[in-house]
Structure 1
Amino acid sequence: MMETTFSMTRVQHIMRRDLIENWKSNLYGLLGIFAACFFPMLGFLWSAEHWTEEGYPEVYSFERFCGNMLGIIGMVVSVAMIYYASRIMKCMDNKEKRISYLLLPATKLEKFFSRALFVTVGTVLMILVALLALELTHYLLLPLFDLPTVYSQPMLVEVFSMKWAHASVDATGESVYSWWLMQLLVWIFCLWNHSLFILGGSFWYKHPFLKTIGACLAVTILGGILFASSVDSGIWSFLIRRVDENYPHSPQTVNGLLTIISVVFLLFTVFNWWLSYRLFTRSEVVKRKLWRL
């Protein structure tokens, strides 16, 4: 009888099986991420050549190029992360795959953990390989363009240095909020957004990416309607007045608010992961019905 304790050895066997079965789709995904960054970079290099001809300063031209690449890389990485998150249960998208996966000699926690590693760590590694290939391609393309020597600098170093913006300051030069708390909130919000697609992929086995986007869009529209109704009723004006009366405008107040929001979104993220695992533990060969959850 199989042991019920968690075993990394069994996790490794499951992951090796998935890698062998899905190596082609993983390769296509890596090439897709690379291509989505490469073609815009090619266009930006061509444009940078014209910026130089028009007399823009070399450093400004390079910073503008890296700023454009920051937007492209950020968008591609975001889409790739949520797309692969929605494919967490790709191994269960038809009856034959469900039978094969559910009968693997491993606990359900080990099976879910292996899939979670693929759509988190595996996706990050895929993105890193694609970005390193993009950096190498950047150097290989330079001889084809008449660009200043500043473009010989590592592109990714400059791009990622732009990501870490400084905190806002008020008229007196004092920070409006903690830079670290704001960065923490941004990362937790990204994790929460990622967990929504983990949850969607655990519920919908077929076309989970589109269905999750559709569900999020529907909830957003409904939330917008409810928010507009609450604004008309004057509830928010009353709450804002009460906050202004009881809490002074200070960095401490803003930091406290950032902390509360971070904790709330972190709890939502943990809940989405827990619910995703719960859905997987109730997986059956015949696709479950909603009322049987």
Structure 2
Amino acid sequence: MIKDTFFSLPRFVNLCRKEMVESWKTNLLRIVLLYGLMAVIMLWNGYFEYKWDHSSSSDPMWTFLLGLFAWFLWGGGCLSASFTMEKLKTKTSRISVLMTPATPFEKFFARWFVFTVVFLVVLLITYKMADYTRVVVYSLAYPGKSFITPVDLSHMVGDSDFYTLCDNNWQFGAFVTGYFFVQSLFVLGSTIWPKNSFLKTFAACALIVVVYTSVGAFLGKMFFQGKGYYNLWGDWTEENIFCLLIIGCTLFTIVNWTIAYFRFKESEIINRM
């Protein structure tokens, strides 16, 4: 019988260890699949890129690799978030989760930590491993091309002559907070639909976006038709817009995670599948 406390760090650490050790085969398979998929894509693109002679001193693959990291971050993050409550899919695993001697917050926070924070660490490690695999393979294949080097992720943001995903810190902040907002939608979806969570959440989000876009376009056409160009943002600067976007995404992310937690607490009372 546990003490009626909200959070205990030793118990939380043990719970995280339990979550990762019990499913180590599944987790290992997912990590290998993630590494293998990135390595294959990098090697395939490198085959077409490196067969030509390049006069530049920088690796011509870097532009592609930075974009690839962003795609795997968003896509993998959403897929990982949809696994947050996968143990609630069956009756047996559901009882096992709910009977674990820990508080509801610790159970939810442990699952959230593994599939949100640990995922980012795993993604970074597997991405660098796949990148070094590319460098080793093509350094051996083309020993005279000294520009084949590992990608520098610091080029994701910065105002320079080299390609960057984000030109300044405001854009990078919007990129990061936007990722966590979208990821939080899939965390929430996993608590609502433990079965086929990714597909159902994606379908629900796509439907909502289509409806809101259609309604917004209809209202805009109805109210502003014949009135010429209408500047929605007025005299707002780019920094103001990105600042508003960062604040909005942060608030909605926290709200989604909070709703997901309370939805998880409901599962201890009733199963709404």
TM bucket, shorter chain: 0.7 to 0.9
Q: Deviations over 1:129-183 (max 9, x none)?
A: 21232133134312123551111x3x131xx23311429xxxxxxxxxx933332
Q: Which amino acid letter does the alignment assign opposite residue 3 of structure 2?
A: E
Q: Which residue of 2 aligns with 1:156?
A: 151
- 1:111 pairs with 2:110: no
Q: Which residue of 1 aligns with 2:163?
A: none
Structure with more helix by fraction: 1
Q: Could you tell me which of 247, 253, 264 is aligned with 2:248?
A: 264
Moved more, 198-207 or 220-229: 220-229
- 1:207 pairs with 2:204: no
Which structure 2 residue ranges, 5 or more long, are not aligned? Answer: 161-166
Correspondence 1:1-293 to 2 at 5 A: 1-5=1-5, 6-52=7-53, 56-59=54-57, 62=59, 64-141=60-137, 142-151=139-148, 153=149, 155-157=150-152, 160-166=153-159, 179-235=168-224, 241=230, 248=235, 253-284=237-268, 287-288=271-272
Is the Cα contact below 8 Å between 1:195 and 1:269 reproduced in 2? yes
Superposition deviation, residue 28 in structure 1: 1.2
1:40–1:241: structure 2 CA closer, same or farther, 3 Å change rule?
closer
Which structure 1 residue ranges, 5 or more long, are not aligned? Answer: 168-177
Per the normalisation by structure 2, the TM-score is 0.87
1:18–1:236: structure 2 CA closer, same or farther, 3 Å change rule?
farther
1:237–1:115: structure 2 CA closer, same or farther, 3 Å change rule?
farther
Per the normalisation by structure 1, the TM-score is 0.82
Aligned counterparts of 1:236 and 1:30: Cα–Cα separation in 2: 52
Is the Cα contact below 8 Å between 2:39 and 2:131 reproduced in 1? no
Q: Which residue of 1 aligns with 2:164?
A: none
Q: After TM superposition, which residue ranges in structure 1, 4 or more long, deviate above 4 angstroms?
A: 235-244
Is the Cα contact below 8 Å between 1:58 and 1:148 reproduced in 2? no
Q: Deviations over 1:74-107 (max 9, x none)?
A: 2122211110111110121111111111011110
Corresponding residue pairs, total:
265
1:241–1:134: structure 2 CA closer, same or farther, 3 Å change rule?
closer
Find the residue that maps to 2:50 and give its secondary structure: helix
- RMSD value over aligned CA atoms? 2.5
Superposition deviation, residue 44 in structure 1: 2.5
Is the Cα contact below 8 Å between 2:157 and 2:169 reproduced in 1? no
